[in-house]
Amino acid sequence: REDIGFVCLTTFVVIVEIGFLNILIAQLALIYERLSLDKEGYAKMNRAYTCVEIESFLSVKYRMKVWDEFNFEMPLQFDAGDDGPSGGIQVLEPASVRAAKKYVPDRVL
């Protein structure tokens, strides 16, 4: 009787341990996914900050010239899934670019 009890207890402990490990792995996977999304957001903010810093070195006259050339005062029509504020530079790219396996969304918004 003692051997059967020990085997049952050992089996129960092993099953519970495997269950806890599965829960731990699931939590780690979710945390990794969440941190990955945050990392992309911080990278975009850093690139935008760098662009603004570089732009600050340009003269006001040159910035006004660029503003007038690109018609920033005219808002753009954004489709579903487009990112960015209304009003900006519209750049069209072929749909095959986003469909490529090596495509990395690294555009500054």
pLDDT in tens, 21-76: 999 999 999 998 888 777 877 788 888 889 888 888 888 899 889 888 887 777 66
Q: So what's the pLDDT on residue 2?
A: 77
Domain extent listing, the chain: 2-73
Who has greater pLDDT, 68 or 10? 10
Whether 65 and 76 have beta carbons less than 8 Å apart is answered as no
Who has greater pLDDT, 64 or 1? 64
Q: So what's the pLDDT on residue 34?
A: 82
Tokens of 15: 């099953």
> Alpha-carbon distance 52 to 12, whole Å?
60
Whether 89 and 70 have beta carbons less than 8 Å apart is answered as yes
Nearest to 87 by CA among 72, 67, 66: 72
Nearest to 48 by CA among 6, 88, 7: 88
